[in-house]
Amino acid sequence: MEQLRKLIEERIEQWCDALPQSDLYAPMAYLMRLPGKRIRPAAVLMGADLFGADPRSVLDEALGIELFHNFTLMHDDIMDAAPLRRGKATVHVKWNTNTAILSGDAMLVKAYQLMGRDARVAQLFSRYALEVCEGQELDMAFEQRATVSLAEYTEMIRLKTAVLLSCALQVGAQCANAPAEDMERLGSVGEHLGLAFQLRDDLLDAFGDPQLVGKQQGGDLRAGKKTWLLIRGLELEATQGSTLLRDQLARPAESRDVPLMIGTLEALGVRTEAEAEVARHDALALAALDHLAVPEERKAPLRQLAAQLMVRVY
Amino acid sequence: MEQLRKLIEERIEQWCDALPQSDLYAPMAYLMRLPGKRIRPAAVLMGADLFGADPRSVLDEALGIELFHNFTLMHDDIMDAAPLRRGKATVHVKWNTNTAILSGDAMLVKAYQLMGRDARVAQLFSRYALEVCEGQELDMAFEQRATVSLAEYTEMIRLKTAVLLSCALQVGAQCANAPAEDMERLGSVGEHLGLAFQLRDDLLDAFGDPQLVGKQQGGDLRAGKKTWLLIRGLELEATQGSTLLRDQLARPAESRDVPLMIGTLEALGVRTEAEAEVARHDALALAALDHLAVPEERKAPLRQLAAQLMVRVY
């Protein structure tokens, strides 16, 4: 994993260095150089490695996936009016909104330039890219809605977050000419890992150690964000006839009692349920990985990545 | 030409009809259904026809080019804060800015899905798509600058406007496996036609019949927009020691004497020079078309398109 990450960082740095000096390209380098876990490009390399291709041979596609991911961050940050990204000013704040729109557009084109060597890879990529847009649309639509079901929320995070990991693994595998059945299994590995990862993120917001998580505890609850925890908590309250969470949400954000909300979720058993859901997706991911028809030793890096994503920091 | 346009309109209508019902896709259909001349998709069909392919065989690529063009309109309208597009509310006004950003992004992905059958076509498309972004960046940068040279302005409109026509012709030709030399000649045809078209547009703003042009006469001058005419007018004034245009520009937009500015441009000979420049590009386009190594009768539709673009409405 560390080896793969080094290859990726070198490729990213080389790519950023070669960009022309202008406001169109500078925001791309700025965002790409923010320190990150590089999970998605690593997944591309692992997908290729699994089926016997040299990971080095798919560095372009790995970079393409990372560019796409950063393009979505650049535009999502505009849509969310987010001032900070990993502790640094977002592109639309550091430059301006128009530059962030245009540079993001050009970044998507740049991603396609790297994904376009193989028409099958490009088609695969387009399918998932569209799903990511659909996920972002649902996310924005849910903000305007009074209620969102657990199934709807899960579908939203599947599209917005999980499918890109699935796409990354499959792009690598496709470049290595993996058989169709294994492509599907690998897609399932990525999707379940991605879902588990996002649900774990929801859990960390409420129950994580703020020191380790690196953000304010209960920030999602304070903002009234409809996460898995809050949706499930409101469902359970409704069946039990209690209204504590609902009452808190009716207040303005700054006067919500966040510790009380966290305690209520715990008492309702939402934390336990969410942890079980995370474990279920982890297990499904590992089961799909087991069924992959490649020698066990080739699966080691992907198992390591899965283990890394499954680490709890609370 | 009319036949081709009918094919294109049918393909666009069919595509719009098949879109899912949601705020992600509705703005795409809205923009694509605004009446337009469909010059770019027609150019794709003509490019294929020139080299003996059935125009029907490249309808996907023609639609892809038109989608890309409309994606740029959707995002440019946000950047320009434009309320109207062809007399109708722009997407960011009819929906909202976030929807216009996201729907535009998804539209670019949709364009790639249609351009991606052939990796060579996708690479060609990416190269020009990036140039269009670079042109938009220059356009925005020029607004912030005190002076822009004629050469810089020409490069900006080449990138922002002309290269897409060039791209459209070449995409069609590439699908028909045109030889590399002819691809270059065809690129030149498109680029010069595009430049002539944009310069003619600048001329129409000041000297066109407002009834026929369909917008307020001298709108660019009123806004102080650095078009070919204004840049050249200021250059000539500077060499002659007069300052009429410069003085007008120093005033707030609403108190500028637009008819006086138009008269000054005419008196300085800018109109004549611009008309000569348009004629020069038209001639270069036709010369490149002459050199194309295909039977003369196959060039007829493209000559017709060129003639149509060359019509003066003033």
For the segment A68-104, what is each residue's pLDDT rounded down to a tens digit? Answer: 999 999 999 999 999 999 889 999 999 999 999 999 9
Question: If you average pLDDT over every residue of chain A, what do you get?
Answer: 95
Contacts of B150 (CB under 8 A, 6+ apart): B228, B231, B232, B235
- Identify the residue whose tokens are 């008309």: B275
Q: Which of B78, B116, B127 sits opposite A122 (nearest CB)?
A: B116
Q: What is the pLDDT of residue A215?
A: 73
Interface of A with B in 31-70 (CB under 8 A): none
Cβ <8 Å between B134 and A106: yes
| Helix, strand, coil % in chain A, rounded to nearest 5 | 75, 0, 20
H-helix segments, chain B: 2-17, 26-32, 39-50, 59-79, 91-94, 97-115, 119-144, 150-157, 163-175, 180-207, 210-213, 219-222, 228-240, 244-250, 258-268, 270-291, 300-310
Q: What is the pLDDT of residue B6?
A: 96
Q: What is the CATH number of domain B184-314?
A: 1.10.600.10
Cα–Cα distance for residue pair A66/A52, rounded to 1 Å:
22
Q: Which of A102, A108, A116 sits opposite B123 (nearest CB)?
A: A116
Q: What is the CATH number of domain B1-178?
A: 1.10.600.10
CATH 1.10.600.10 maps onto chain B at 1-178, 184-314
Chain A contact for B96 (CB, 8 A cutoff): no
Confidence of residue B177 (pLDDT cuts 50, 70, 90): very high
Structure tokens at B276: 């000569």
Read off the pLDDT of residues A216-241 as tens digits, 9 standing for 90 and up: 789 999 999 999 999 999 999 999 99
* Amino acid present at B42: A
End-to-end, the C-alpha distance of chain B in Å comes to 23
Chain B contact for A96 (CB, 8 A cutoff): no
Strands (E), A238-312: none
Q: What is the pLDDT of residue B308?
A: 84
* Amino acid present at B94: K
Read off the pLDDT of residues B247-291 as tens digits, 9 standing for 90 and up: 999 999 999 999 999 999 999 999 999 999 999 999 999 999 999
Q: Check if the beta carbon of residue A205 is closer than 8 Å to that of residue A314.
A: no
Q: What is the pLDDT of residue B312?
A: 64
Q: Check if the beta carbon of residue A197 is closer than 8 Å to that of residue A307.
A: no
Facing residues of B89 across strands? B84
Q: In chain B, what residues touch A60 (CB-CB under 8 Å)?
A: none
Cβ <8 Å between B105 and A104: yes
Q: Which of B109, B123, B137 sits opposite A126 (nearest CB)?
A: B109
Mean pLDDT calculated for residue range B40-45: 97
Structure tokens at A51: 């089926």
Q: Which of A292, A36, A54 is nearest to A187 (CA)?
A: A292
How far A72 CA lies from chain B's nearest CA (Å)?
Answer: 9
Cβ <8 Å between B137 and A113: no
Neighbours of A83 (CB within 10 A): 12
Mean pLDDT calculated for residue range A129-139: 97
Structure tokens at A77: 């940050």
A176-180: long-range pairs with CB below 8 Å, 24+ = A176/A47, A176/A48, A176/A49, A176/A50, A176/A51, A176/A52, A176/A53, A176/A58, A177/A51, A177/A53, A178/A47, A178/A50, A178/A51, A179/A293
Please give the DSSP secondary-structure letter assigned to residue A80. T
Q: Note the residue count of chain A.
A: 314
Confidence of residue A313 (pLDDT cuts 50, 70, 90): low
Give backbone dihedrals phi and psi of B190, rounded to 5 degrees, phi first: -65, -40
Read off the pLDDT of residues A182-215 as tens digits, 9 standing for 90 and up: 999 999 999 999 999 999 999 999 998 877 766 7
Q: Check if the beta carbon of residue B124 is closer than 8 Å to that of residue B169.
A: no
Q: What is the pLDDT of residue A312?
A: 64
Cβ <8 Å between B109 and A79: no
Helix or strand (DSSP H, E) at A85: strand A84-85
Contacts of A114 (CB under 8 A, 6+ apart): A60, A61, A63, A64, A67
Read off the pLDDT of residues B90-145 as tens digits, 9 standing for 90 and up: 999 999 999 999 999 999 999 999 998 889 999 999 999 999 999 999 999 999 99
The answer to whether residue B211 scores a pLDDT higher than 80 is: no
Q: Check if the beta carbon of residue A173 is closer than 8 Å to that of residue A183.
A: yes
Question: If you average pLDDT over every residue of chain B, what do you get?
Answer: 95
How far B255 CA lies from chain A's nearest CA (Å)?
Answer: 29
Q: Which of A265, A244, A266, A268 is nearest to A256 (CA)?
A: A244
Neighbours of A98 (CB within 10 A): 20
Interface of A with B in 281-310 (CB under 8 A): none
Structure tokens at B314: 């003033």
How far A104 CA lies from chain B's nearest CA (Å)?
Answer: 9
Facing residues of A84 across strands? A89
Predicted complex ipTM: 0.94
Neighbours of A26 (CB within 10 A): 18
Neighbours of B155 (CB within 10 A): 14
Facing residues of B84 across strands? B89
CATH 1.10.600.10 maps onto chain A at 1-178, 180-314
Angle between helices A119-143 and A97-115 (to 10 degrees): 150
Confidence of residue B313 (pLDDT cuts 50, 70, 90): low
Tell whether domain A180-314 is in CATH 1.10.600.10.
yes
Q: What is the pLDDT of residue B2?
A: 87
Confidence of residue B210 (pLDDT cuts 50, 70, 90): confident
Facing residues of A85 across strands? A88
Cα–Cα distance for residue pair A304/B242, rounded to 1 Å:
74
Neighbours of A70 (CB within 10 A): 24
Q: Which of B28, B221, B210 is nearest to B110 (CA)?
A: B28
Q: What is the pLDDT of residue A84?
A: 92
Read off the pLDDT of residues A271-301 as tens digits, 9 standing for 90 and up: 999 999 999 999 999 999 999 999 999 999 9
The model's pTM is 0.95
Identify the burial level of B293 via C-beta atoms within 10 angstroms of its C-beta, where 0-12 means exposed, 13-18 middle and 19 or more buried: exposed
Q: In chain B, what residues touch A24 (CB-CB under 8 Å)?
A: 133-134, 137
Interface of B with A in 112-141 (CB under 8 A): 112-113, 116-119, 122-123, 126-127, 129-130, 133-134, 136-137, 140-141
If you measure CA to CA, which chain A residue comes closest to B141?
Answer: A23
How far A101 CA lies from chain B's nearest CA (Å)?
Answer: 7
Beta strands B84-85 and A84-85, pairing class: unpaired
Cα–Cα distance for residue pair B171/B122, rounded to 1 Å:
9
Confidence of residue B311 (pLDDT cuts 50, 70, 90): confident
